[in-house]
Chains A and B, each alone.
Chain A
Amino acid sequence: MKRVLQILFGYIVFCFCVCLALGLFTGTSPELLAKSVRTYRLYEGLRIFCRILPAVTITGVIIGCTVLYGRHPEGSIMRFSSAMFRRYRYVIVIGLICSFILTCTEEVVTPILVLKQQQLVQLPKLVREYVRIGTKEYISGNSDLAFKYAQLAAKIDSKSDAAQQLLNRTEIAIKTSRQDTSDAVIPEVSQGVSEEGYTVSQLRKFAEKSYVDGNWFDAHYYAETGISVASPKDTNIELLKKIAADAWNKLSQAEKIPETEEERIYKLKLEGYKLLMDGDNLKAYYVFKKLSMQSRALSIDPDVVRYLKLANVRLATESFFIDETFNLQEFETAGNVYFKIQHTDGSTDIIYIKGITSIKGTGSMVQYLRGFSVYSLDKNGSYIRSMYVQYAKLFAVPVSDFDDDTRMSLGIDEKIEYVPYILLRSIDRGTEGIVNEPLYRYEGDTPKDGKDQLILPISYTDFELLVEASKGAEFMSIPALVQFFGKTVKYGYSEEVFGQVMLNRILYPLFILIIIVCSASFAWNYRISEKLMFKTVWTSAFPLLSVLLYIFFAGLLWLYKLFNYVFLGTAGRKYALLAGCGVYIAILIISSIVFLSRNSADAA
């Protein structure tokens, strides 16, 4: 066995070197960064090697075995001799090693190489995109953000002139703005007192006095001013907060025509607060946002900050900000995802998502869906309605959040734990009125308003499987493929196709093992003569054997795929894998018997 392994691995290493040389020095590359060209070519060489590895391995096994069996054919005068059983043991060990290597190559190495090459091809586009976004941000005055983009671009391609230029420009802009800010900020930072020169304890006393006097505005004003100038550890702060809140409560009870600026602000705060209480979170958000943007003092006003934050949190369950989706297209992880959802009344929703960007949020995964469409058909296949939105935001919500009636009305199965919750409306962070809303169309072109949120009555895990399935059954992980196989028809995918690919991939090691055992039988039949001297010139024929075996292996693989359809067709979905295993094991047993029945009469 040692000799076979020596020849096998020696030949594999030789072919590996040839493939690397072929990859490095031949062929054309797509547009790449100068520094990535060599790496890309290296990966190309490795991919060529992975493609020919089955043929190379079979060649190595055949040559190794022909030499070994030719030199040591003793002990095999009769069929099923003990010497043949000993050889068979080694053949199985070699077969298992080869199966393992080839399966790993097919399932792990090749996908990684494809991914790496794709990443390298993406790099120049990424640099261009970062420079484009950075320049845009720089022009808009966001030098900090522009600097970060320039840094990212320069990190990927340090030789990019555009990236370096942007980096220099943004660096200078940041330095200048820091100087300006520090000049402007110094008097404010040194403040431990109010604009009028009062300390925190003085402000507390004024606030208390005003509160006792029933002067709610002054009480609120002093309390708020005290809060704004006090340090977080100040012992007065809790009392000031209480006075401010109580005063605010009193103010909210009074309806007065605003006369001063303070009154107008308080009126606005009151309005925002009421909107928030009424559940109009979007309008409340804009009221507080407008207030916070009016002045620096208002931007740190505890009420404004508090209620703006509250509005923000509430809004996050209804809509998202348009700026969250800027430049997401470049970072999409899946594209052209489509599936159907069949409802109990017989109607069908066809879902189509043009691109998906997954972003790891705090604790959960958030997915931004580009070009999200829902096309609904009734049970007769007639059009009911359609919905399209440029961007949607999806996250998983637990079904336990819904009561039973809601769950049933949404058509969610009780076994499902999490469902995809989709926000369809996106709004501008600063300007009221800029909204991307879902466009609903109904049969007969009667425009009606639809919902701004959507819950898909499928499990979130299924949604993730569908995203993976959009890449094709060949590119899904085996556990995901097995998991998805039983659900294919439900979502409009072919059970035959996914089942066949699943069988192709799961039974592949067994298929390789059979080929190795058959190769060993072939090697015995065509082994080198015991007395024949090995000629170096023969080694030149081995690559030719690999070429022949490459074609032969491709033919066998074609047959293998064809047969896997037969298993699905005859044994059905449930037993196809079992039937496939059974048949391949039977073939393995037959080929093993053929090998064991070899004897010296099969003369060299």
Chain B
Amino acid sequence: MIKSLKKSLQLIPAYLGILLFNCVIGMLIYMLYFNTTELIAGKLLQLFDRHILLEGFFVVIPVVLVLSGTLLSCYRIRHSGGGVLPVIMYSLLGAVTWCILYPSFIELKKNCQVISDSEKTALTAGYFRSAGNDIIYFPQIPVSADVEAVVINVNEVQNGAVSLQKINYPQVVYESAPFKDSLIRETIPTMPGWIMEGFAAIEVRAENAWHAGYINWLCFISFGLALFSVYSLTFCSEWRLINIIYLLLMEAGVLSFNLLYFSDYFLPLRKLSIRIVNNFNFLTHLDEPLLVCINVFLTLVFICIGVTTVLTKKQKNKRRSV
């Protein structure tokens, strides 16, 4: 019992450590990535930026909170055992994450506004850059919107492939986004759009749900419930490596489904959701009722699998001991 209590209490510092460590690492990586996007060929890379670091905090925290269940589950696989108390503690921490920490973060974000003081730095002269299908070369540092540049039209077959033209400088800057310089963009793979957009969509949904009232918030945290309940699958195998595989795959599945639910891939499902809501009046109070139902259903399935596995194992152990 003491061992079980100790194991369960150990989860609190572990959880806080996981949050802190991942936040710091995430913020540093965000700052690094952001500073690289600001990098312009021929200029120095700025390594530290207080404003960006703070901005990173508000970007990274929701991601870390969403993934905290997965990270805590990994910790539990590594430091398994202890009976039912650590499981209860795990559930409590999950509840704290989605019922206290996430809403607190939303409130904090509302009150804090990060003003980025990044300067609008012009591109450097003397480099060849790709712009659309052309190659451009600024003989002078571009200072105005209509700037002259040597344009190499690679599709031009006759004379005139190279010419000095006025180009739309803001368009050039826009095309290289999120990087300031298209040269740098070519060497760093941008984050897959669906991940960035997916996380941004989750954040927007969270904020809307929180401001819309408790029922909407409860609907939203069905997503967190599904994520945290994947932990039940970690009892399935006796080899912890296999448990890790099950856990990460299922977490990825739940996360991807919730990220992509609002994309075109799930348009038929969303249409079906509208038809279902029309038939069942009580569902109209819920925000995205089908998504909520699927998340709750997944939670129940995971918990059932976990409980069944644990009970079967106990019975087996009993038979062995007899």
Residues of B within 8 A of A473 (CB): 187
**A348 touching B139 by the CB < 8 A rule?**
yes
Find B47's partner among A538, A548, A566 (CB 8 Å cutoff): A566
Q: A565 and B244 in contact (CB under 8 A), knowing A352-B162, A375-B162, A383-B164?
A: no
Residues of A within 8 A of B237 (CB): 538
Contact with A along B110-141 (1 / 0, CB 8 A): 00000000000000011110000001010110
**B244 touching A526 by the CB < 8 A rule?**
yes
Taking the closest CB of chain B, its distance from the CB of A591, in whole angstroms, is 16
Complex: A446 Cα to B181 Cα, angstroms: 37
- Does A529 lie at the interface of the complex (its beta carbon under 8 Å from any beta carbon of B)? yes
Contact with A along B157-197 (1 / 0, CB 8 A): 10111111000000000000000000110111100000000
Find A538's partner among B137, B139, B157, B239 (CB 8 Å cutoff): B239
Taking the closest CB of chain A, its distance from the CB of B180, in whole angstroms, is 12
Complex: A386 Cα to B163 Cα, angstroms: 9
**A497 touching B186 by the CB < 8 A rule?**
yes
Q: A352 and B140 in contact (CB under 8 A), knowing A496-B183, A548-B248, A562-B36?
A: no
- Does A558 lie at the interface of the complex (its beta carbon under 8 Å from any beta carbon of B)? yes
- Does A222 lie at the interface of the complex (its beta carbon under 8 Å from any beta carbon of B)? no
**A565 touching B45 by the CB < 8 A rule?**
yes
Q: A494 and B139 in contact (CB under 8 A), knowing A532-B239, A538-B239, A604-B240?
A: no
- Does A541 lie at the interface of the complex (its beta carbon under 8 Å from any beta carbon of B)? yes
Query: How many chain A residues have a CB neighbour from B under 8 Å?
Result: 54
Complex: A558 Cα to B160 Cα, angstroms: 39
Q: A62 and B241 in contact (CB under 8 A), knowing A383-B164, A496-B183, A562-B32?
A: yes
Taking the closest CB of chain B, its distance from the CB of A508, in whole angstroms, is 15
Complex: A497 Cα to B152 Cα, angstroms: 20
Complex: A62 Cα to B240 Cα, angstroms: 13
Complex: A525 Cα to B241 Cα, angstroms: 9
- Does B274 lie at the interface of the complex (its beta carbon under 8 Å from any beta carbon of A)? no
Q: A570 and B47 in contact (CB under 8 A), knowing A497-B184, A565-B36?
A: yes
**A544 touching B245 by the CB < 8 A rule?**
yes
Complex: A525 Cα to B32 Cα, angstroms: 31
Find B183's partner among A336, A494, A525, A544 (CB 8 Å cutoff): A494
Residues of A within 8 A of B135 (CB): 336, 338
Complex: A497 Cα to B150 Cα, angstroms: 21
**A570 touching B186 by the CB < 8 A rule?**
no
Taking the closest CB of chain B, its distance from the CB of A540, in whole angstroms, is 10
Contact with B along A553-588 (1 / 0, CB 8 A): 000001101110110111000000000000000000
Contact with B along A56-71 (1 / 0, CB 8 A): 0000001100100000
Residues of A within 8 A of B36 (CB): 562, 565
- Does A52 lie at the interface of the complex (its beta carbon under 8 Å from any beta carbon of B)? no
**B150 touching A566 by the CB < 8 A rule?**
no
- 20 additional A-B residue pairs with CB within 8 Å, beyond A388-B159, A538-B237: A62-B241, A66-B239, A338-B152, A375-B162, A381-B139, A386-B162, A388-B161, A492-B128, A493-B128, A494-B42, A495-B41, A496-B184, A497-B186, A526-B78, A526-B240, A528-B241, A532-B238, A538-B242, A541-B246, A565-B184
Residues of B within 8 A of A (CB): 29, 32-33, 36, 39, 41-42, 44-45, 47, 77-78, 125-128, 135, 137, 139-140, 148, 150, 152, 154, 157, 159-164, 183-184, 186-189, 237-242, 244-246, 248-249, 252
Please provide the 9 A-B residue pairs with the shortest distance between their CB atoms, ordered closest to farther. A569-B45, A381-B139, A494-B41, A388-B159, A526-B241, A375-B162, A381-B140, A373-B162, A494-B183
